[in-house]
Amino acid sequence: MISAGCGPVGSFVMATDAAVTATLASAGYDFVVIDREHGPNDIRSTIGHIRAAEANRTIPLVRVLENNPGQIQATLDAGAHGIVVPKVGSAAEAAAALKASRYERGGRGMCPAVEAARWSAGDTWAEHRRSSNENVIVVPLIETRAGIDSLRDIAAVDGIDFVFFGLADLAQDLGIDMYGDVGRLVDIWNEAVEVVHEQGARIGAPLGYGFEGGDFGTVESDLTLLKSAAVAGLARHRDATSRTPANGA
């Protein structure tokens, strides 16, 4: 999609019910980020989300709690098409996350009897290994001062094709207000876009904050979208009922 000039749009998924992912997919979202850093999803509910995404032809990514090889392996074994890694602050950290996602010496552990491998027999393992190593996406979250300072090196790591601009934690790390100082964040973003594109990688960000020139983005999260719709619907119909005379009077 990106190569065709169309920026993919996704949303974070906090709820544990896989129907939420199916709903977002049916609404046309190109990908979901199942949140295991801030959301309550465990490995069982994550598998449900992944299956719902695949059944409805959207891409399931998972944000892990931390840059931990065990967590990355378990998430990919569950079938995630890619991982979003919080607070990546150096090229070494990005490379470590990438290594944990690859079937290679010292990397991701081999096990055919998992969801991602479709419980493969020996004759299908080689294809799974090849496909996984070629297609699993690793997305460093750039959300600290260290990440911004090291962004050029992070984006230059061979195999890191995407990074994501995490404005909330970045604002906190910089000691500024995410909303009141959004202009400063936009300035940082504009420099980040140039740096990442110079390295041949792609960069995404939350949409609706003035971050222009990116390659992909996210629209809020499932539950914030639900609340926004609920508030709007309540206001609209509350207003309508307040104008309706009681008992026909």
Cα separation, 211 vs 227, whole angstroms: 24
3-state SS, residue 60: strand
CA distance 144 to 142: 6
What is the rounded CA–CA span in Å between residue 206 and residue 221?
A: 10
- Residue range 165-181: mean pLDDT, rounded: 96
pLDDT digits (tens, 9 = 90+) for 178-191: 999 999 999 999 99
With a CB cutoff of 8 Å and minimum separation 6, the contacts of 143 are 86, 87, 165, 166, 167, 168, 169, 170, 173
Asked whether residue 210 is domain-assigned, the answer is: yes
Given the structure tokens 């980020």, which residue do they identify?
33
State how many domains the chain has.
1
The residues facing 97 across adjacent strands are none
Distance CA 80, CA 74 (A): 9
pLDDT single digits (tens) 204-232: 999 999 999 999 999 999 999 999 999 99
Per the domain annotation, does 27 fall within a domain? yes
Digit-coded pLDDT (tens) for 49-86:
999 999 999 999 999 999 999 999 999 999 999 999 99
DSSP at 186: H
Q: Is residue 38 part of a domain?
A: yes
First-to-last CA distance in the chain?
Answer: 58
> CA torsion, points 90, 183, 61, 214, in degrees to nearest 10?
-90
* Helices 91-100 & 69-77 angle (0-180, nearest 10): 40
Question: Which ranges of the chain does DSSP label H, i.e. alpha helix?
Answer: 18-27, 43-55, 69-77, 91-100, 122-135, 145-149, 151-155, 167-174, 182-198, 222-242
Q: Is 248 part of any domain?
A: no
What is the reported pTM?
0.93
Residue 248 has pLDDT above 70, yes or no: no
Residue 236 lies in a domain: no
Q: Judge whether 231 lies within some domain.
A: no
Residue 51 structural domain = 9-222
User: Could you tell me the two tokens for 38?
Assistant: 């801030």
Distant-in-sequence, close-in-space partners of 150: CB < 8 Å, separation ≥ 6:
89, 90, 91
The verdict on residue 155 lying in a domain is yes
**Residue 118 · residue 128 · CB < 8 Å:** yes
Structure confidence at residue 239 as a pLDDT band (50, 70, 90): confident
- Which of 95, 92, 93, 43 shows the shortest CA–CA distance to 64? 43
Residue 244 has pLDDT above 60, yes or no: no
**pLDDT higher than 70, residue 246:** no
Q: Which residue has the higher pLDDT, 238 or 102?
A: 102
CATH of the domain at 144: 3.20.20.60
**Mean confidence (pLDDT) of the chain:** 94
Instruction: Return the active site residues.
Output: 38
Question: Is the pLDDT reported for residue 140 higher than 70?
Answer: yes
Residue type, 70: G
CB 18 within 8 A of CB 51: yes
- Could you tell me if residue 126 is inside a domain? yes
